[in-house]
Amino acid sequence: MIGLDIAFWVLAVVCIAAALAVVLLQNVFRAALTLVLCFLAVAGLYVTLSADFLAAVQILIYVGGISILVILAVMLTREVQNGSPSNKLRFPAFLVALLFVIVMVYALINTSWQVSTAAPLVPTVLPLASKLLGQGGFILAVEIAATLLLAAILGAIVLVREK
């Protein structure tokens, strides 16, 4: 039990550090890679909370799909090293973000959280695996989507590379 608590807090720190790196890094490609790290850390948090179905969905959809599309878009960007230039909306955006943090902290403090000590009765990955890999599963659709993403990445590499 103590090991899960330690893993949870380590993954939480990694997740927050990766999220801050996404926002603060100037290099867009490195920011996209830290976004992948943040998604993986969130999946690890789901595992420590015994929400293995959500962890599987996080890895399949966000790490496998969304992050690949973000990296593909970054590869098609010409100014990867410079990032986006600063603009006049930085201060208003900071105020809106600060207001959002204040509202979230207020909601967290004033909510009575009910904690369950009972673990889930059955693992939730087995139904997901049976739906994907079992009789009449959707594994063909997953493989086709992976092949299309691979083709899109290869096409982006061909378009971006120097002659």
For residue 65, what pLDDT is reported? Answer: 78
Residue (of 161, 149, 158, 157) closest to 66 by Cα position: 149
**Across the chain, what does the average pLDDT equal?**
83
Tokens of 85: 């230039």
Show the domains of the chain with their CATH numbers. 2-84+124-160 (1.20.120.1200)
pLDDT at position 139 over 80: no
Span 71-124, pLDDT tens digits: 777 777 766 566 556 667 778 888 999 999 999 999 999 999 888 787 767 766
Span 19-31, pLDDT tens digits: 999 888 877 888 8
Cα gap 74→33, rounded to integer Å: 10
For residue 81, what pLDDT is reported? Answer: 60
Helix (H) or strand (E) holding 139: helix 139-160
Q: Please enumerate in sequence order all residues whose Cβ is within 8 A of that of 64, keeping only pairs 6 or more positions apart, or say none.
A: 146
> Residues 79, 56: contact at Cβ < 8 Å?
no
Tokens of 139: 């594994």
- Report the greatest alpha carbon distance in the chain: 61
Q: Of residues 156 and 78, which shows the higher confidence score?
A: 156
